[in-house]
Amino acid sequence: MTEDERSPILCHMANNDQVLDCTFAALADPTRRAIVARLCQGEAPVGELARPFSIGLPTLLKHIRVLEDGGLVTTRKAGRVRTCTLVPDVLRCADAWLRAHIDVWESRLDRLEAHLHQLKKKDLR
Amino acid sequence: MTEDERSPILCHMANNDQVLDCTFAALADPTRRAIVARLCQGEAPVGELARPFSIGLPTLLKHIRVLEDGGLVTTRKAGRVRTCTLVPDVLRCADAWLRAHIDVWESRLDRLEAHLHQLKKKDLR
C-alpha cells in the first residue's frame, strides 16, 4: 500500500490575507461547497464525492485541487483510492473574519440605538 | 440634488447558492475585504474609501462594482459624491453557511469523543 499524504499549503502562506483570499475563492462555487458540506460529516473517497454531481471525474478532481490549494482539504492515496479530509481550521478562520466584522456593524447599531434612546428621553423631559 | 439609489441585486437572485457564490467571490480579495471592513463602521464616500489604497480610482470603482453586484454594498449618488453603504444581511448569510458546517464537523467530533470515552470505560471494567 503506497501513501501519498499531501499537507495543506496553509503553513506556507505568508499571511492571513492569503488564507482568506484562497478560502473565500474556494467557497465561491456550489460544487466545492457541496464537497465541503459532505466532508464535514467525515472523510470520503473521491469516487463517493463524485456520485451526487452530474459532472465528469476530471472536473471534480479540478474542484478538489482548488480546495486542496486553498488549504480546506487534504488528500491521501492508498492504492488506487484517493481519500479527502476536511481541514476545519481554514473554515474557522473565514468564519472568524466574518463574525468580527458583523460584530463591528452590530455594535455600531447598538450605540446608535442607545444614542437615539437618550435623545428621546431628553426630549420627553 | 440628484439621487441615484441602487438597490442590491440580492432580491433578484434565484436562490441562496447564487448569493453565496457572489458573496464568497466578492470577499476573495484583500482590497474588497478592507472596503467591507471600513463600511462596517458606517457609510463612506468613494473618495474616502480610496485613501488607504495605493490603487487608482478606476480600479477601486471596479472593486466597488463587484461588491455591489454581490449585494454586499449599495451606492447612492448625490451631486458628484457617490456614497457606499454596507448590506449586512449578505455577510450574515455567508456566516450562517460557514457556522452551520463548522457545527456539523464539531458535533461529529463530539460524538466520536463520547464514543471513545464509552469504549475506554468498558475497557476499564
- Give me the pLDDT at residue B92, please: 94
Q: How confident is the model at residue B2 (pLDDT cuts 50, 70, 90)?
A: very low
Mean pLDDT on B35-62: 92
Mean pLDDT on B50-70: 92
- Give me the pLDDT at residue B53, please: 86
- Give me the pLDDT at residue A10, please: 42
Q: How confident is the model at residue B48 (pLDDT cuts 50, 70, 90)?
A: very high
A 81-120 residues with CB below 8 A of B?
Answer: 86, 88, 91-92, 94-95, 97-99, 101-102, 104-106, 108
- Cβ distance A21 to B29 less than 8 Å, yes or no, reads yes
DSSP A3: B
Distance from CA of B78 to the nearest CA of A (A): 24
Q: What is the DSSP string of B105-119?
A: HHHHHHHHHHHHHHH
Residues of chain B with C-beta less than 8 angstroms from the C-beta of A86: 105
The residues of chain A scoring below 70 in pLDDT are 1-15
Residues of chain B with C-beta less than 8 angstroms from the C-beta of A108: 40-42
Say yes or no: B15 contacts chain A, CB-CB below 8 A. Answer: no
| pLDDT tens, residue by residue, A104-122 | 999 998 888 888 888 888 8
- Give me the pLDDT at residue A15, please: 67
The pTM for the full model equals 0.82
Main-chain dihedrals φ then ψ at residue B82, nearest 5 degrees: -100, 125
Of A28, A94, A105, Cβ closest to residue B21: A28
- Give me the pLDDT at residue B1, please: 36
Say yes or no: B61 contacts chain A, CB-CB below 8 A. Answer: no
Percent of chain B at pLDDT > 90 equals 65
Say yes or no: A62 contacts chain B, CB-CB below 8 A. Answer: no
Enumerate the domain spans of chain A. 3-124
Of A27, A36, A102, Cβ closest to residue B92: A102
Of A20, A40, A105, Cβ closest to residue B104: A40
- Give me the pLDDT at residue B73, please: 97
Classify domain B3-124 at the CATH class level.
mainly alpha
Q: Is the pLDDT of residue B94 over 70?
A: yes
Comparing A91 with B125, the larger pLDDT belongs to A91
B34: helix, strand or coil: helix
Main-chain dihedrals φ then ψ at residue A86, nearest 5 degrees: -75, 145
Cα B70 to Cα B62: distance, rounded to the nearest angstrom: 12
Q: Is the pLDDT of residue B40 over 90?
A: yes
